[in-house]
Amino acid sequence: MQDKTMIFTLEDEQDRIIREKLTIVYNALKEKGYNPVNQIVGYLLTEDPTYITTYNSARSVMHSMDRDDILVAMVKNFIV
């Protein structure tokens, strides 16, 4: 029996989902020979979907996330 109470927050779950989706996009861009960081930054700055490849549904995955949520998660995880 475990005495420690686990704490669950939706914020942590949302960050985990964003991390998983960004990893899918990152890997697809890398596999296609692009610089994933530059491409993702280009997308975040412009919301132009052509920065993200359609390979492995990366563009759809990226489009399924809100840009503000991505930026909040990235800043929060960078600082913490």
pTM given for the model: 0.83
Structural tokens at position 72: 């909040």
Q: Do residues 31 and 61 touch, judged by C-beta distance below 8 A?
A: no
For 9-66, the pLDDT digits (tens) are 667 889 999 999 999 999 999 999 999 999 999 999 999 999 999 999 999 999 999 9
Exposure of 5 in the CB half-sphere (CA atoms within 13 A)? 2
